[in-house]
Structure 1
């Protein structure tokens, strides 16, 4: 510092001169630069930082609002999901009940159809049995009658046969 004071005190260096002492000039230049920067840029930086802070705060508030809205929508979606789950379970239950009812109805209809078919088959079989029985009785009767006629023809002569026929004719006339 001594050299600096001596520098200003001497008359030969009165005025503006080049100081070659790098240490002294850099410190003064740096201090002057910082003071000028502080004075000039202070308002600019303050305004920019304030605006940036306000923007960050607004962004955080918007993000919190969106988060609250998202949480609300998520809660509503969970409620709707639970309701849909209940509705799906009810639909599945109703579908199962309907399926069982349809199966029971089909089973009952099938049973009824089979009963009708069996009843019809039994009636057809009884009719055929009766027809066959009647055919057998007719055949047996025909054969028995033919045998009786054959035996009578052998045992009775023509005169006796004529007498029986005449008697029957007279009975028919009375």
Structure 2
């Protein structure tokens, strides 16, 4: 403030010596005007500016504290979420391993069941083939016997005369009658 007064006094003394007139020296007039404005601002604005700057400093400090608190909360939340992620990954690995074990067991059970089914089908097919062979053999025997009887009957009817037939009948009666 002392500098301001000295500058103001020098400016007044110069004005008295040279008289009243316009000073066209831009550097000199700007410095004087600037000194006057700064002096007035310091004198009248000291309390206002001090209060405004103190309020602003308090708000900035409060904002910094809030930001640091949010940072701590975010770091805590991040650590918690990372822990949850690690637990989820562990659980996923466990589930995957368990699923692989189950699929292996199911695959082995399916293969064993398929093998049993194949063996059962082979046994059923063999039994069916054997019964088919027996049935076919029985049919062939019956067919052969039927054909043989038909042929014998055909030969008997055509090859036997009536006297031969009478002799056969008599012999048959005699053999039946003799055994009775």
Same fold, judged at TM 0.5 (above): yes
Cα drift, residue 64 of structure 1: 1.0
Alignment map for 1:43-122 (pairs within 5 Å): 43-122=47-126
- The structure showing larger relative contact order (alpha-carbon pairs under 8 Å, at least 6 residues apart) is 2
Offset from partner CA, 1:111-138 (integer Å, 9 cap, x none): 3333333322222211110011122233
- For structure 1, the 5+ residue unaligned runs are 9-17
2:119 and 2:175 map into 1 onto residues whose CA distance is 55
Offset from partner CA, 1:65-100 (integer Å, 9 cap, x none): 111111111111111111111111122222222222
Say if 1:164 and 1:70 are closer, same or farther in 2 by CA, change over 3 A: farther
2:152 and 2:33 map into 1 onto residues whose CA distance is 165
1:27 and 1:130 map into 2 onto residues whose CA distance is 135
TM-score, normalised to structure 1, is 0.69
Q: Count residues in correspondence.
A: 160
Say if 1:37 and 1:142 are closer, same or farther in 2 by CA, change over 3 A: closer
2:172 alignment partner in structure 1: 165
2:169 and 2:101 map into 1 onto residues whose CA distance is 87
Q: What SS does structure 2 have at the residue aligned with 1:88?
A: helix
RMSD: 3.6
Alignment map for 1:135-150 (pairs within 5 Å): 135-142=139-146
1:159 and 1:51 map into 2 onto residues whose CA distance is 154
- For structure 2, the 5+ residue unaligned runs are 1-9
TM-score, normalised to structure 2, is 0.67
